[in-house]
Chains A and B, each alone.
Chain A
Amino acid sequence: MKKVLIVAVLFTAMVFGCLGTGNAQTIENELYLITPVSKDVHDPVLKAFAEYAKKKFNVDVKTSAIPKGTPVAYGQIIEWKGNPQADIFWGGEGTLFDDLAAQGLLEKIQLPKKMWDEIPESIGKPVPLPLKDPKQFWVGTMLEPYGIIYQPKLVKRLGVEIKDWDDLLNPKLKGQIAQCTPDRSSSSHATVEVVLMTHGWEKGWDWMRKLAANTGIFTARSRDVPSVVAKGEFAVGFGVPSYMAFAEVLGGYDVMYVYPSNAYVTPEPMSVLKGAPHAKAAHAFIEFLLSEDGQKLISQLGVYPVTPKYKVQGAPGSNQEKAVAFTGGMRSFFDIQVGNVYNVQQAGDKKRIEDVNSYFRKEITEKHKDIVKEK
């Protein structure tokens, strides 16, 4: 029987092995992402890339994504020790990418120079946010703010109005706020940093404690925050990427979004991992995403092009127009004054990241029940 097993294993291995090999080709026929960018965006993009690859290289690319929160994905890449099972790391904060590059775990991006140059160095005032790595280890792919999502029906019933961050501290929202923790989600982490950098360390944490007093749930992942708000389980979600909120709208749910003052705007950086099993496909994917077709595609999904020349624009009733309406008429981040207090150097410090995360864990999550009781 042992023999039978070995034969069975060999047989299945052969069958599956065959799928993986093919003729000489311009790019590999597989592509794997590890990404915090949710399915709402990565799925359509991967699908479009598969079509693009078929047309351009005549290759049927099998694509898949390992959905992981940014910190988790970051840790996983380190754990792979240069033998990654994914080709591309996409999304989150640029600082983690710098860190990976320093560890020699990223490959330089290969892009046509024109395409690279069309992406501005940075965005935002008073503090500039970089949109690409001068050393070319990562590149921004799209822009979206981490803001506030709410359920209009519930918010109306509670008698509150949500316009900016401080509205979340209204005692009427007790138990109604959903947020993720900064060690599980980069959007939470960045948004906590925005709070800390706006108010300063001490006052910033006081603000977070007040938010915790109103918080009903710390979700397991950042993508749960818009889900539970869309469902009506909780009225307001904190630190939510705009496209996730927009995905709920596309899904037929009734939610509203606020882009609050100085909210972190992410360029959703992208890198090719060193030792990527399908490196050629990975570089082709980046090129595709930054092309006009790629940027147009994402502009239907509630995110904004990272290149100033592309605007979110479509036929009346199109998803593009819905997205514009959803974020209050904005067609490009380069059309407005982007306020930013988030300091990349400061926030990207490894010790600072751990400090913020462990302070949040010790003083907010672990004491959450007490905080709720006190207030």
Chain B
Amino acid sequence: MSFENGEATLSGGATRLWSRRNFGGLAGYAGIWLFLAIFLIYPLIRLFYDAFTDDANAFTLMNFSDFFTDTYYLKATINSLLLGVATVITTSLIGIPFAFLLLRYEFPGRGLFSYLSIIPMIMPPLVGVMGFVFIMGRAGTVNVILMDYLGFAKPVNFMYGIHGVLIVETLHLFPLMTLSIVDAMGKISPSLDEAAESVGSRGLRKFWDITFPLTTPGYVAGALLVFIWTFADFATPLVVGIDDLLASQAYLNIVQFVDRRLFKMGIVISAIMILLAIVFLIVAKRYVAQKDYSSLSYSVIERRTLSTAGNIGVVVFLSSVLIAAFIPYFGIILDSFGKGWALTPFPVKYTMQYFERVSIETPKFILNSLLYSGISVAICIVFGVPIAWVMARTKLPGRDTLDSLTTLILALPGTGIGIAYLRAFRDPFPFTETALIGMWLVIPIVLGIRRLPYTVRGTFASLLIVHKSFEEAAESVGAKKTVTFKDVTLPLIWKGVLVGSLYSFILALQEASATLLLVVPGHEMMPVGIFNFYMGGSVNEAAALGLILIVLGAVCLFAINKITGAKAGGVFG
């Protein structure tokens, strides 16, 4: 992995750039670009091409004019934006205090809370909303108790409607916000906070004037992720019967092939979603670029202790949020063991039959999940580590674009990518007979692309901490760049790479937006299996498979925690 570095070229003379040794490096760099060009840029271009052409491949703006003159789609657009903004607000209201309390205060159970606060993240799509419905639905535990024991005439509608989507997204995504803030706060020198105290600023005032503004880059990054995630989620709205959102419309229209006009609208909606995501990304980047205050000083601030009342207040707040966030877990556990559970607070009969069915009859879901997530992580490492290295250590042309591209991936809605792939790879490659769509390989590739940013960021962050002089020292005693990377850089950054990869792995395990559209028969992964079980009426099996997936995710998370100690937010920034 030897990429020539601009500075070295200057000092070493022009001939070095073209020495044989560098040829391999440049070829590798070209390989990275080729990979991104084929599997990221081309599908997106193809999607836009389709959106701007009619069935006869002639250029047209009709599709967009259809979209923008249809009040229903406009309503869906506004609803999606509002839902995204609302989720950002609610996750902020929960996520920011969480981050602040966990970082700055000492209270009973702080360690436990900080571990538990990440757990809601590992809830796979669809499973979360299922779990909520089991507990909070019209016939869920809470309503059954309200009606059968507390005399309510009608169930309280917690779930069915846009507010249900908001509840599910909020309790699923607030950890993303917490992690982003924790990460950002960790990078801010504590003396900035102390300086504020020394001039008399304290409490909320200090938070609003000093602490929060300094964490804006992290906050904006977290907010963007939350926004895009909500924006792109179609599973949750569909379960609670909400159709008038962009992601739902994109999904419903694209899987509906009968009416070509609707199908085309699915493509157009995906293109519009991607465009909107890119706009938000650019705005966020602009904003963050002006305000990067991180000092990379990971010094620790002394945690404040609280009064007894303060302790109680904090523990009650954190516990109630976490209990709410864990509702789907209770629901999933009950439903995966409960037989024929309906209209009683808890299942009356318990069984292992669902687990037997999913684990004995369809172990392929689990195997496929592990295998494809594994391959996708390999892809992430093979391409992500060099990309991070190029970004951190070289002045190669195109490195800024690499940075933008990997960030762009974070903002791309999974549905959009899935649809772009569907359009881009349905024809066979040149000189071959099979199209990528329909080969199992498409699944790990799309997962790899989708999760690439986590590896890139994890590695990049580690590389920033490893001072360049370590590498220069190795080179000064005669090690070539390749050897230096292997013997010096890699041992110093492997933790960052590993953590980034584990995150990629967890998220790959749970991916069900792009992969759901690209399903290859016989090669379904667990989330697709969950979807198939659920859609096929086997809700209990879906819950059982969901529970297995959650446990897998929790194991990975535990591993991350073991590896990194407490600091796990870095790759989310």
Contacts and interface: CB of A to CB of B under 8 A. Distances in A.
Asked whether the complex places CB atoms of A and B closer than 8 A, the reply is yes
Interface of A: 1-2, 4-5, 8-9, 12-13, 16, 30, 32, 38-40, 62, 64-69, 71-72, 74-76, 78-79, 83, 85-86, 151, 153-154, 183-184, 216-221, 223-224, 226-227, 230-234, 244, 247-248, 251-254, 353-354, 357-358, 365-366
B379 A30 contact: no
A232 B538 contact: no
B473 interface: no
- A-B CB proximity, top 5 nearest: A75-B257, A252-B340, A232-B139, A39-B536, A217-B241
Contacts of A224: 534-535, 537
A221 B534 CA distance: 10
A233 B138 contact: yes
Interface in B222-266: 238-241, 243-244, 252, 255-259, 262-263
A101 B124 CA distance: 40
B540 A358 contact: no
B31 A64 contact: no
Contacts of B521: 32, 64-66, 85-86
A85 B520 contact: yes
Interface of B: 1, 27-28, 31, 72, 133-134, 137-139, 160, 238-241, 243-244, 252, 255-259, 262-263, 339-343, 349, 375, 378-379, 382, 386, 426, 435, 438, 440-441, 519-522, 524, 532-540
Contacts of B375: 8, 12
A208 B535 CA distance: 25
15 contacts: A2-B31, A30-B522, A64-B524, A67-B532, A76-B257, A86-B521, A154-B139, A154-B343, A183-B262, A216-B241, A252-B349, A353-B258, A354-B258, A357-B259, A365-B243
A40 to B, nearest CB: 6
Given A64-B521, A221-B535, A252-B340, A4 B257 contact: no
A8 to B, nearest CB: 7
Nearest to B542: A227
Given A32-B521, A65-B521, A40 B382 contact: no
Most chain A beta-carbon neighbours within 10 Å: one of B262, B375, B435: B262
Contact of B539 (A9, A218, A227, A357): A227
A239 to B, nearest CB: 15
Given A32-B522, A220-B238, A252-B339, A8 B378 contact: yes
Nearest to B439: A13
Given A8-B375, A218-B243, 10 more contacts: A2-B31, A2-B382, A4-B382, A13-B441, A30-B522, A39-B536, A85-B438, A216-B160, A251-B339, A354-B258
B122 to A, nearest CB: 24
B536 A223 contact: yes
Contacts of A85: 438, 520-521
Contacts of A68: 255
Given A9-B441, A66-B521, A253 B342 contact: yes
Nearest to B138: A233
Contacts of A78: 257
B482 to A, nearest CB: 11
Given A216-B241, A218-B243, A253-B340, A223 B257 contact: no
Nearest to A2: B31
Contacts of B349: 252
A6 B291 CA distance: 42
Contact of A66 (B241, B441, B519): B519
A369 B137 CA distance: 20
A247 B537 contact: yes
Given A2-B28, A86-B521, A254-B340, A183 B256 contact: yes
Nearest to A66: B521
B379 A233 contact: no
Contact of A232 (B241, B257, B342): B342
Nearest to B434: A83
Contact of B342 (A38, A183, A254): A254
Given A154-B343, A219-B241, A251-B340, A234 B138 contact: yes
B537 A75 contact: no
A358 B72 CA distance: 13
B343 A40 contact: no
Given A219-B241, A252-B339, A62 B522 contact: yes
B522 A40 contact: no
Contact of A248 (B263, B438, B522, B537): B537
